[in-house]
A and B are shown apart, each in its own frame.
Chain A
Amino acid sequence: SCTASLNEDLKEMLESSKESLKLEAMKRIVGLIAKGKSASELFPAVVKNVASKNIELKKLVYVYLVRYAEEQQDLALLSISTFQRALKDPNQFIRASALRVLSSIRVPIIVPIMMLAIKEAAADLSPYVRKTSAHAIQKLYSLDPDQKEQLIEVIEKLLKDKSTLVAGSVVMAFEEVCPDRIDLIHKNYRKLCNLLVDVEEWGQVVIISMLTRYARTQFTSPWMEGAEFDENKAFYDSDSEEKKDQTEAKPYVMDPDHRLLLRNTKPLLQSRNTAVVMAVAQLYWHLAPKHEVSIVTKSLVRLLRSHREVQYIVLQNIATMSIQRKGMFEPFIKSFYVRSTDATHIKTLKLEILTNLANEANISTILREFQTYVKSQDKAFAAATIQAIGRCATNISEVTDTCLNGLVLLLSNRDEAVVAESIVVIKKLLQTQPTQHGDIIKHMAKLFDNVTVPMARASILWLMGEYCEKVPKIAPDVLRKMAKTFTAEEDIVKLQTVNLAAKLYLTNSKQTKLLTQYILNLGKYDQNYDIRDRTRFIRQLIVPNEKSGALSKYARRILLAPKPAPVLESAFKDRDRYQLGTLSHSLNLKATGYQELPDWPAVAPDQSVRNVEIVEPTKQPKSDDKFYSDDEDEKEEEGSDSSGSGSEDSSSSSSSEGLFLSVRFTVSGAFSFHEAKLMLLVISITNISMTAGFGSFLPKLEFITIMISFFYDFFFFCQHCLFPQNDSKNPTFRTSGISLFHMSFQVTTSSFGPLKTYELLHHMTGKGLSAKYHFPRQPCLYQPSMVAVQVILTNSSDHALEEIHIGDQSPASLNIHCFNTIERLEPGASVTVSMGIDFSDSTQAANFQLCTKEDQFSVSIQPAVGELLMPSTMTEQDFCKEQGKLQGMNETSATITMATANASRQAINKQVLSVANVGEVPSSQNNFSSLEARWATETEATICIGSPKLDRRLKNIA
């Protein structure tokens, strides 16, 4: 009832008209979800707010929807149309978040809608949206695995994406949906390697792990046969290793792609993300030639200074590595010294590593360190230290006696755990040392009464039995004591008592016959079946009777056989069967879904699969400020251009200049169809954060930064072309274009002021002739593909200049419409002439000679990107439509800084116009005003529609 009334309250709040109440209600609801309480019955009330304009509220509704949509499928469907609409939003973040939520709604009925949305988003201009679509692939796959084939197509497409933002996410999708389709990687392998450094860090982890697997299937092993993986010799100098390599009969040549991977991952060892560092470390461990693996050592040791949870996992991995490659970590041995502040699990791992690293040279230092560890208050750690001493003693024969003596001293320690552990270790050591150790055994027998730890008692009993001939007097006495306490002992002690009894019976039956029989009788009725079984077996074996077979003859040889010494080895000995850095490695058990790292192929698969045809290299922008050049041959293909439907440029869109705090511009659109291909231009003014506005309390010195980004994209398919070529000659279009230009030009002149004039020829160099030029931003009269340039020629000399004309041009292919020769220019006079220059859509300078009758002067005109554009007209709908089709492979950006105080619409227009020749899209929506541009390129056939858009949102700062 209490929750019911609470829910009623919340419902009421949600239905109120006040945003603040709704918001408060949603916060409380999210609070319920966060605590794991149910809020499902509020679904109808919440879902109504999905289209809210308040972003904060909207986001909370999204959180709710994702959580409950599956439970309330029918109601959830009501919200789908909202997301579908949002998928077309000009703002990339809104598109992305709509896709995210839509793909998180797990309602099978919308699978086709999701599929369509993913496909569209995968071709989106914004890399952020494409990244989101990559994430959505996995969600759809888990909802409906039948979509696999279609999804793989999307993955294939996204793998080709050159954006670093997308790379990580699409590889995640690849790993989830089709990790076995390694063929999809071939062509993208080199690109992924090269992009890796710039990929976002979590993406790096995924890509590196995928590439590790890839490399193990595609390259041959760089490890020489002589230098097998588990070399136990210390690994000091790589020279000897190399010599060994050279003696190999068949020289190994590393695949250049294999080398590329190693080289490009190396800088990532400096990453501050521990997961990236470990990913690279395991890559080197599994892929690099032996002598190169030590590159990762320093970085791994550096991770030891991180959080202790990280330390723990790093130490586990180092422990595994240090077994096979002591040399790697030996110089850093001090880093593994235990600190008093370390947690026990860290201490034991460090101990493990120190033991692995111990050799003849450093054992004395290590043992001294161990001595202080034994004194530790942390008993589990002290016990582990004793084990470690035991291991050092067996591994390094020089110190066996020293260790044994030290351990015997520990037998008089006051702490029982220490004593018990020492006994267990001494027992193992004595077995490896078949020489006389009667004294130690006697000493232990004396301790026997005080030792209560079962394992230690069992160990002493075993020693008594095994070496009973060395302690003939004491052993029967110990057995006598055991007979008294037999029933109260732990199972393990009982078993060893039976064992001792049997051995004594065989060696000293006179003294112990009765005792043995007594113990065997006790054992016969023990509760534990193991002990009953063992007792029955021993009795049959050692006591001769009519039923006992031939076996009892050999009883002595069976029970007192020389036994092989136990090998004290590291718990990490066989951890290397798991790939380093994986969960399975940390847990030392095969985690669900663990994929084993494939072994190297014996013969390298075809290397050429990774070759990529060089795709139109000239199209890559040469540098940031260079426009691409587009003059290489292309396949002719029939195509045609047409403009988007003519639109009326109504609505002066007087947006209110109220208080606004966040402005986001997204300008996109503009593509051109040039013969075989469509060129796309997106001008995107993104992400303007404006912190103050009219009437704001903030200081006026806040700045708005406007980013204008131009995206050029040439990888677009013909079928998307909306603008057939022949229409470009359509007079209607022409005029509409020009009229729009006039409109926007007026905007320009009224607000923009004088055009920028550039110097072409200084009068000093021009022997009196000076020339200046500007871009009038008019369509060129001579050829549509040309950019109009006005040149003002002035004669500042004292004599008249004759025959001013244009001479040689370079490059030769340059298409210039020259002005008519000026026969005579009087001193002090000036003349304005018009030229048309075809820049071929590039910012490459047009070089030509300006000649007079006597002289020739080389001059050049280099246009800014913005001058190559032409404004165009389109409605907002068309704009959105076009914008959605753009891809954002290439972009050019310019930054405008202006004071908020002046952030009126005109002022922004003015600023934008100062860098690019764009026009404004009339907007009917309340807060929207937009800019639009048309971009004219060199050929008649080429039309670009660029539709930068300005989206201004009111946001409450609270």
Chain B
Amino acid sequence: MISQVFILSSKGDHLIYKDYFRRRNHYNHKDLYFLHIRQGGLYWVATTTVGSSPFAIIEFLNRLAALVKDYCGSLSEKSVQMNFALIYELLDEIVDYGYIQTMSSDVLKNFIQTEAVTSRPFSLFDLSNVGLFGAETQQSKVAPSSAATRPIQSSREQGGKSEIFVDVIERMTVVIGSNGVLMKADVEGEIRVKCYMPSCSEMRIGLNEEFSIGKSQLRGYGAAVRVDECSFHQAVRLDEFDSHRILRLCPSQGEQTVMQYQLSDDLPSALPFRLFPTIERDNGGRLLMYMKLRCDLPPKRSPLTFVCLISLSQELSSPDQSAELKPQSRAVVWQIARFAGGTQLSALFKLEVPSLSSASMLEVGPVGLSFELPKITATGLQIRFLRLSPVQPGPSQRWVRYVTHSDSYTIRI
């Protein structure tokens, strides 16, 4: 049972405040429990009184944030401020007297009357120099990240484009031991569909035909694309999945995660990055870190962002290297703007460390890499085709995007 919902800015200002029991003044703070999440730089807070499962409320807040994102296009302080009437209406519809009624955008679209306000109309063209997920890049063939951040209702309007975005997003968790042995490799992936089609009755997503789930099942002769387990959105029909690896669904407007999958330990391709570190102490008592970093991506593929974070348990004085030193986190941050596949980079860091001992040498590390690889999936999952039926009247655009993030890519030294 939800008593109040707040949306707070990052500074803690009230953007939206909805009280479902304002009149019951016998509630004092003692009986109220606050739960919050943080999304889109905003705090989403709910208070509850009795008998609620914290799961329900956290799930509610997450769904609320997703709904507001669907309805307003993007999540930011500004978009929330501009759409308070819409969000208030949403809050009014989804919760009645503290009880969650429905959060399905298909049901809600019957009720929600207010139109979203966006700061400016989005056009694919004025953003062509901005790459996927907002980073600077020359990848002009990729749809701009902001293309998918517009309110779902805009497709009701005259100018609303019929568009569909299918994103394959994978997150890698890798731990490489100090001896260079891969200790753990996990990939979590999901296929996300964001639909702006007012009249799309069915959509068929074809995955690689050799896609297989679990260890026993191997298909075809080629290198199988394998995941350990898979879960699907409840709207997905799987009658063609077993035979042809086709997901059928009727996408509702807005964003939904169609499929989630996971692969542990057994990656089909080589790891994208390898690091060969050497750590020494020179005669002047300085700590020498020699880092050789190799990018094993196919040529012409390169990460969009790449940060190498070397943590040191040492107190550091200023180094004589130009790489950035973060004294607060006691780490060296080595940022590489361009790093083409198949190349190798080396760097030598010399660090002045007071009272360097051999014991403290052991306290260096681990190295963490963070990167974003566009157009690459670690599992090899590909979208073979994307078909919509009935055939859309007028021009419609379909975007398929792949990206692999580093969730946690750690190399122990």
Contact = CB atoms under 8 A, between A and B. Distances in A.
B48 interface: yes
A691 interface: yes
Contacts of B206: none
Contacts of A339: 173, 407-408
A595 interface: yes
B164 to A, nearest CB: 18
B311 interface: yes
A305 interface: yes
Nearest to B6: A36
B408 A340 contact: yes
A563 interface: no
A958 B115 contact: yes
Interface string A204-239: 010001000000000000000000000000000000
A446 B101 CA distance: 65
B359 A412 contact: yes
Given A30-B88, A372-B412, A142 B234 contact: no
B33 A587 contact: yes
A583 B360 contact: no
Interface in B312-348: 313-314, 329-331
B139 to A, nearest CB: 26
From DSSP, what is the main secondary structure of chain B's interface residues? mixed
B271 interface: no
B272 interface: no
Contacts of B89: 59-60, 63
B23 A274 contact: no
Given A36-B14, A313-B54, A341-B407, A307 B37 contact: yes
Nearest to B61: A309
Interface string B149-167: 0000000111000000000
Interface in B27-49: 30-31, 33, 35-37, 48-49
A337 interface: yes
Contact of B16 (A34, A142, A310, A594): A34
Nearest to B158: A697
B122 interface: no
A307 B50 contact: no
A205 B1 CA distance: 12
Contacts of A699: 393-394
Contacts of B61: 309
B262 interface: yes
Considering residues A309, A594, A703, which has the most beta carbons from chain B within 10 angstroms of its beta carbon? A309
Contacts of B15: 34-35
Given A275-B53, A697-B158, A27 B37 contact: no
Contact of B23 (A31, A106, A175, A582): A106
A302 to B, nearest CB: 7
Interface in B345-396: 359-360, 363, 365-366, 368, 393-394
Nearest to A314: B55
A188 interface: no
B59 A273 contact: yes
Given A35-B14, A372-B366, A56 B113 contact: yes
Contact of B58 (A309, A591, A595): A309
B111 A93 contact: yes
A197 to B, nearest CB: 10
Interface residue tally on A, bucketed by range: 35 or more
B234 A272 contact: yes
Given A307-B62, A340-B368, A414-B360, A591 B50 contact: yes
A173 to B, nearest CB: 9
Contacts of B157: 957
Contacts of A533: none
B184 A334 contact: yes
A205 B53 contact: yes
A375 B365 contact: yes
Contacts of B366: 340, 372, 375
Contacts of A169: 99, 101
Interface string A299-319: 000100101011001000000
B56 interface: yes
Nearest to B100: A202
Contact of B59 (A59, A104, A275, A337): A275
Nearest to A143: B23
A12 B305 CA distance: 55
Interface string A568-599: 00000000000001110011000111110000
A587 B410 CA distance: 33
A278 B260 contact: no
A375 B88 contact: no
A132 B97 CA distance: 11
A897 B110 CA distance: 20
B330 A341 contact: no
A222 B58 CA distance: 32
Contacts of B113: 55-56, 59
Nearest to B62: A307
B216 interface: no
A30 B58 contact: no
Contact of A583 (B18, B53, B84, B233): B53
Contacts of A581: 53-55
Interface string A54-81: 0110011011000100100000000000
Interface string A683-706: 000010001000001110111000
22 contacts: A27-B85, A30-B84, A31-B85, A35-B84, A93-B110, A172-B99, A202-B100, A209-B53, A272-B231, A273-B59, A275-B59, A279-B55, A298-B229, A302-B231, A305-B188, A305-B262, A377-B331, A414-B363, A583-B52, A591-B33, A691-B198, A702-B199
The 3 closest A-B pairs by CB, nearest first: A593-B50, A56-B113, A275-B56
Given A35-B84, A135-B101, A298-B229, 6 more contacts: A63-B89, A100-B96, A205-B55, A581-B53, A582-B54, A691-B198
